[in-house]
Amino acid sequence: MLRALAVDDERPSLEELLYLLGADSRIATVEGAGDATEALRRINRALESGPDGPDAIDVVFLDIHMPGLDGLDLARLLSGFAEPPLIVFVTAHEDFAVQAFDLKAVDYVLKPVRKERLAEAVRRVAQLRGAAPRITVSEPDPDHLPVELGGVTRFVAVDDITHVEAQGDYARLHTGKGSHLVRIPLSTLEERWRARGFVRIHRRHLVSLRHISELRLDAGSVSVLVGTEELQVSRRHARELRDLLMRRTAR
Q: For residue range 145-187, list pLDDT tens digits in order.
A: 887 665 556 788 999 999 999 987 788 899 988 888 887 888 8
- Give residues with Cβ within 8 angstroms of 242, minimum separation 6: 215, 222
> Quick count: other Cβ atoms within 10 Å of Cβ 24?
18
Give the global pTM.
Answer: 0.59
Model confidence at 45: pLDDT above 70: yes
* 52 residue type, one letter: D
Model confidence at 134: pLDDT above 60: no
**What are the residues facing 114 on neighbouring strands?**
none
Predicted confidence (pLDDT) per residue in 60-89, tens digit: 999 999 988 899 999 999 888 888 899 999
Average pLDDT, the chain: 87
- Angstrom distance (rounded) from CA 43 to CA 31: 11
Q: What's the pLDDT band for 13 if we cut at 50, 70, 90?
A: very high
**What are the residues facing 167 on neighbouring strands?**
170
**Which pLDDT score, from 0 to 100, does residue 160 have?**
94
